[in-house]
Amino acid sequence: MHRAAPVSLWQYGVIMRRIAVVPGSFDPVTLGHLDVIDRAAGLFDELHVLVVHNPDKSALLPISKRVSLLEQAIKEAGLPTNIVVASWSMGLLVDYCMDVGASVLVKGIRSQVDVAYETPMAIVNRNLAAVETVFLLPDPANAHVSSSLVRQVASLGGDVSPYVPRAVAQYLERSRV
């Protein structure tokens, strides 16, 4: 009996790929970020980790270095292969989402301070382009870890290795003056 070759729903365009973006300064990427990225990658078909310049923060690392450290950290930690690392400086975050077909932003929320900071941005991004924001809670082991804490400890000569991926700790150690 002749059987037709199986045709997947993908080929009919019935199933949409679920694409999400994890935006942030990642200056530098921490173990807290990596945990959120790992868990978010399991929730979506494609996850874009997007390095964005935040004019409200004074930067430690150039954007290109943040991207390469993220790529190294993701590879070394054996995170899923559906993760793309990119940077964006051409306009609104939701413009990037439209460009890549993403309808969801993912943010890590450590405390009420983060809720207060993220809530207006989530509402504005939904108003601008119907992009929803999903908040993930951190692993409690990382709930106190932030890039600003890492920058401060590193700038004063302290050991940041408990808070950042190995590639970041090595880079900060090497670039210490």
Q: Residue 77 Cβ, how far from ligand PNS at the closest point, in Å?
A: 19
By CB under 6 A, is residue 125 in contact with ligand PNS?
yes
By CB under 6 A, is residue 121 in contact with ligand PNS?
yes
Ramachandran category for residue 26: left, alpha or beta (phi over 0 → left; psi -120 to 50 → alpha): left
3-state secondary structure at position 107? strand
Rounded CA gap, 81 and 166, in Å? Answer: 19
Residue of 33, 48, 107, 151 with catalytic role: 33
By CB under 6 A, is residue 24 in contact with ligand PNS?
yes
Binding residues with ligand PNS: total (CB under 6 A): 11
Residue 166: active-site member: no
Q: Residue 23 Cβ, how far from ligand PNS at the closest point, in Å?
A: 4
Residue 144: active-site member: no
Ordered strands of the 132-136 beta sheet: 83-88, 46-52, 19-24, 104-108, 132-136
Among 79, 84, 92, 100, binds ligand PNS (CB under 6 A): 92
CA angle, residues 99, 13, 88, in degrees to nearest 5: 15
Residue 126: active-site member: no
By CB under 6 A, is residue 23 in contact with ligand PNS?
yes
Q: 126 to 165, contacts with ligand PNS by CB under 6 A?
A: none
By CB under 6 A, is residue 100 in contact with ligand PNS?
no
Tell the residue number behind the tokens 């804490």, with chain if given. Answer: 149
Reported as type and span, the H/E element at residue 67 is helix 63-76
- Cα separation values, 74 from 29, 33, 59, 121, 137, Å: 10, 10, 22, 26, 20
By CB under 6 A, is residue 30 in contact with ligand PNS?
no
Active site positions, annotated? 33, 57, 110, 147
Which residues make up the interface to ligand PNS (CB under 6 A)?
Answer: 23-25, 52, 54, 57, 92-93, 121, 124-125
